[in-house]
Structure 1
């Protein structure tokens, strides 16, 4: 369990900023149990919103709008769930790292499919975004 805590909090030995991040982590007012509860709550809420949004995609006229709102809320909640584990600053650093730049770009480019108002393209970007988030 300690190894999992170290990896998720960014203290896996690969950081040069280990002392700074460790000090920031220790200064946090949230305990590990509270962080795990926040992670689980946000992640479950994010998955439910995303699934509900995807199911509502095919409703005529308003489906794409409902999908955009619910799926965006789901993604924000899912991203916030990982911030409970590693903190916002470490999350942003990892998202902007070279090996994750493509996944971050895919996550951010999702809004393009909504501007084209194409349900099939929105579903394709939804799948790509899920894969990028899992990566």
Structure 2
């Protein structure tokens, strides 16, 4: 359990510099991090489900896009509590996750643009689907060999 705490709080076995030690001394406790992770993650799921429910109301496409995007942002922010925002950003832009991260952030932005500025509800729904797919692909990058398994599964279904 101690190893899990060290990894999630960003304390690797290597020595820390002075700045890292100062930031670590003022950081949240492990239990507080887990609580806020759960709160943000549940809020993200709630916003996504609320947006999906609002989709079926008249004129609900705009609300769907906004709440679905807020849900994805909350779910993404929840992991910042586990590993810290700087480490989260470093991991997001590692070469293995770079494409998924860029597509995910671009889809988040384009969804809101499609709803508020371009006034294209169908395009917003398409970007929400792309949000889901890119967020899934991004999340799978944290599970060893998960992307390979999905690729093999999809290729076997197509052939």
Determine whether 1:100 maps to 2:97.
yes
CA RMSD of aligned residues (A): 2.5
After TM superposition, list the pairs within 5 Å mapping 1:39-78 onto structure 2: 39-61=37-59, 63-78=60-75
The structure with the largest alpha-carbon Rg is 2
Report the count of equivalent residues: 131
TM-score, scaled relative to structure 2: 0.69
C-alpha distance 24-107 of structure 1, shift in aligned 2 (>3 A): farther
> Structure 2: any 5+ residue segments left out of the alignment?
115-119, 141-159
Q: CA deviation at 1:132?
A: 3.3
> Structure 1: any 5+ residue segments left out of the alignment?
none
Q: 1:33 is matched with which residue: 28, 31, 34?
A: 31
Deviations 1:68-124, CA, capped at 9 Å, x for gaps: 221122122212211111111111111111111012112112133551421651442
Relative contact order (C-alpha < 8 Å, sep 6+): which is higher?
Answer: 1
Aligned partners of 2:62 and 2:121 also within 8 Å: no
TM-score, scaled relative to structure 1: 0.79
After TM superposition, list the pairs within 5 Å mapping 1:17-32 onto structure 2: 19-20=16-17, 23-24=21-22, 26-32=24-30
SS at 1:67 equivalent? helix
Tell me what 1:121 maps to. Answer: 126
Tell me what 1:7 maps to. Answer: 7
> Would you identify which runs of 4 or more consecutive aligned residues in structure 1 move more than 4 Å?
none
